[in-house]
């Protein structure tokens, strides 16, 4: 009897339900396209089934825990999620099987599930989305505990040291993994966030927003306490009450832990006539509203977490050819380059002035949009990132070498040979 190919991957996700986490979805789809069998365990939205197949990915869901409130709430959320994920992993093991645990943080506590399965010969890939210690201080700046910080550093260290391979989102994370966690460089592969240019449906701008006759400002993303939407709202308040601009309307897409507080802050700042919180909406609606936007914003403030992190929202804006206003952070500059105006970090008044200048300069908006789109097409391509992801699995599952290969085409890019025959990509600095 022929031994089955060891190409089965189990992804663990906690912070967003599948397929709403765009990075997880793109990685899973790329691996399925390359011939791997991918299962995902995640929490469920109320309307989602507990089991389904999404674009070839087998999805196992558990009921979402209550919205976390404070540090104790996060302890409960993560404890519940780890127990639920472990229980479902046993079901996946019996039904579909898996050879690799591919854990997307946060939280870093997935390492305990991976460690158990490593005892039985499973591999562990740690997909390092967020620097959890830095994110903790960003979220709990006024009440951070040094003890909690040390625990999070320990969990990150354990995840990195037990992983067979680490997927880092950028060079800043790679440097941290090498310096703080003591990981050898050859054990880390940078797979930058990317956007699927060729899979985007063509949509028309939203007629009701266009009929307003105002400059449409767009934001999309998870709204945690570290994501800076409060900075955006204070900047919009200054735009109205300090600069006298009422010729705009801001569409804020998404949800998150800070969402109720942000809606309350918007009312307190008298922004009800200028801001619309859409909540969680379909991908088609997200695309339609962002297509309508004249300017897109990334208000992530400067802190040790955001300064090192690459924001997917910026690449979404650039792919749509939208000019961006953002605070001047190192990874913002690397990602967007000439596609953004960079305001003094954490200065809401400077952010408002940048918005006003761009509102009055449609020619500059058009040029910035072209520059962003060109950078996505030429440098931050899905082909580069998916090739690197496949290289990770060539390293983690070397037993697939010599098994033959199939040629795939990802997003109408040049063909990529998968599994055993995938070529080693040339090293890049971006």
One domain for residues 188 and 208: no
pLDDT over 80 at 414, yes or no: no
Q: Which of 348, 363, 378 is the C-terminal boundary of a domain? A: 378
pLDDT over 90 at 378, yes or no: no
| Residue 426: inside a domain | no
One domain for residues 44 and 158: yes
pLDDT digits (tens, 9 = 90+) for 180-237: 999 999 999 999 988 766 556 678 999 999 999 999 999 999 898 889 999 999 999 9
Confidence (pTM): 0.80
Q: Which of 344, 362, 378 is the C-terminal boundary of a domain? A: 378
Mean pLDDT for 240-263 is 95
One domain for residues 175 and 234: no
Domain count, the chain: 2
Determine the straight-line distance between the first and last CA of the chain, rounded to whole angstroms: 46
Let me know: does 52 contact 17? Beta carbons within 8 Å. Answer: no
One domain for residues 307 and 188: no
| Residue 234: inside a domain | yes
| Residue 1: inside a domain | no
Rounded Cα distance between 156 and 135, Å, is: 12
What's the pLDDT band for 400 if we cut at 50, 70, 90? Answer: low
Rounded to whole angstroms, the maximal C-alpha distance in the chain is 76
| Residue 223: inside a domain | yes
Tokens 């592969």, residue? 189
Under DSSP, is residue 51 helix (H, G, I), strand (E, B) or coil? strand
One domain for residues 183 and 212: no
Q: pLDDT over 70 for what percent of the chain?
A: 89
| Residue 385: inside a domain | yes
One domain for residues 120 and 221: no
Q: Is the peptide bond before 143 cis (omega within 30 degrees of 0)?
A: no
pLDDT over 60 at 411, yes or no: no
| Residue 60: inside a domain | yes
One domain for residues 149 and 264: no
Domain carrying residue 25: 8-194+381-421
One domain for residues 325 and 253: yes
**H helices within 337-416, ranges in order?**
348-359, 362-378, 382-396
One domain for residues 290 and 216: yes
Under the phi-then-psi rule, with left for phi > 0, alpha for psi from -120 to 50, and beta for the rest, what region is 19? alpha
pLDDT over 60 at 418, yes or no: no
Mean pLDDT for 124-129 is 97
What's the pLDDT band for 423 if we cut at 50, 70, 90? Answer: very low
pLDDT digits (tens, 9 = 90+) for 330-363: 999 999 999 999 999 999 999 999 999 999 999 9
Which residues, in sequence order, are CB contacts of 246 under 8 Å at separation 6+? 240, 274
Rounded Cα distance between 228 and 300, Å, is: 5
What pLDDT, on the 0 to 100 scale, is given for residue 18?
A: 95
pLDDT digits (tens, 9 = 90+) for 282-341: 888 999 999 999 999 999 999 999 999 999 899 999 999 999 999 999 999 999 999 999
Q: pLDDT over 90 for what percent of the chain?
A: 73
CATH code (residue 362)? 3.40.50.2000
Q: Where are the beta strands (DSSP E) in 172-242?
A: 188-190, 215-220
Helix (H), strand (E) counts: the chain: 15, 16
One domain for residues 152 and 258: no
| Residue 393: inside a domain | yes
Let me know: does 262 contact 277? Beta carbons within 8 Å. Answer: yes
One domain for residues 391 and 361: no
One domain for residues 228 and 345: yes
Let me know: does 108 contact 162? Beta carbons within 8 Å. Answer: no
| Residue 429: inside a domain | no
């Amino acid at each position: 009897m022929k031994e089955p190919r060891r190409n089965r991957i189990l992804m663990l996700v906690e912070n967003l339900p599948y397929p709403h986490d765009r990075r997880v979805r793109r990685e899973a789809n790329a691996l399925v396209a390359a011939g791997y069998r991918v299962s995902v365990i995640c929490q469920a939205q109320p309307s989602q089934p507990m089991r389904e197949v999404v674009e070839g990915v087998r999805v196992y869901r558990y009921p979402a825990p209550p919205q976390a409130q404070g540090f104790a709430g996060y302890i409960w959320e993560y404890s519940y999620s780890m127990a639920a994920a472990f229980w479902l992993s046993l079901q996946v093991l019996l039904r579909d099987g898996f050879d690799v645990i591919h854990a997307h943080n946060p939280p870093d506590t997935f390492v305990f599930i991976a460690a158990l399965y490593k005892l039985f010969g499973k591999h562990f890939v740690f997909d390092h989305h967020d620097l959890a210690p830095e994110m903790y201080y960003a979220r709990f700046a006024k009440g951070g505990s040094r003890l909690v910080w040390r625990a999070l550093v320990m969990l990150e260290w354990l995840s990195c040291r037990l992983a067979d391979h680490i997927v880092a989102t950028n060079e800043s994370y790679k440097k941290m993994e090498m310096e703080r966690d003591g990981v050898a460089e050859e054990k880390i592969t940078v797979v930058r966030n990317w956007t699927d240019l060729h899979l985007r449906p063509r949509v028309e701008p939203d007629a009701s927003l266009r009929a307003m006759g105002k400059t449409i400002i767009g934001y999309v993303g998870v709204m945690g306490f570290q994501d800076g939407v409060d900075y955006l709202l204070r900047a919009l308040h200054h735009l109205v009450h300090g600069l006298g601009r009422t010729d705009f309307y801001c569409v804020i897409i998404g949800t998150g832990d800070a969402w109720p507080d942000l809606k309350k802050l918007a009312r307190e700042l008298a922004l009800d006539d200028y801001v619309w919180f859409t909540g969680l909406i379909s991908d088609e609606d997200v695309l339609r509203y962002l297509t309508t936007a004249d300017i897109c914003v990334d208000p992530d403030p400067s802190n040790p977490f955001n300064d090192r992190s690459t924001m997917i929202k910026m690449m979404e804006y650039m792919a749509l050819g939208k000019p961006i206003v953002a605070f001047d952070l190192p990874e913002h500059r690397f990602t967007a380059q000439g596609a953004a105006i960079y305001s003094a970090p954490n200065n809401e008044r400077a952010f408002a002035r940048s918005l006003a200048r761009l509102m009055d300069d449609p020619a500059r908006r058009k040029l910035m949009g072209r520059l962003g789109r060109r950078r996505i097409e030429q440098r931050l391509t899905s082909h580069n990132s998916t090739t690197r992801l496949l290289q990770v699995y060539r390293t983690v599952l070397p037993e697939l070498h010599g098994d033959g290969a199939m040629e795939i085409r990802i997003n109408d890019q040049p063909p990529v040979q998968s599994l055993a025959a995938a070529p080693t990509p040339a090293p890049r600095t971006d």
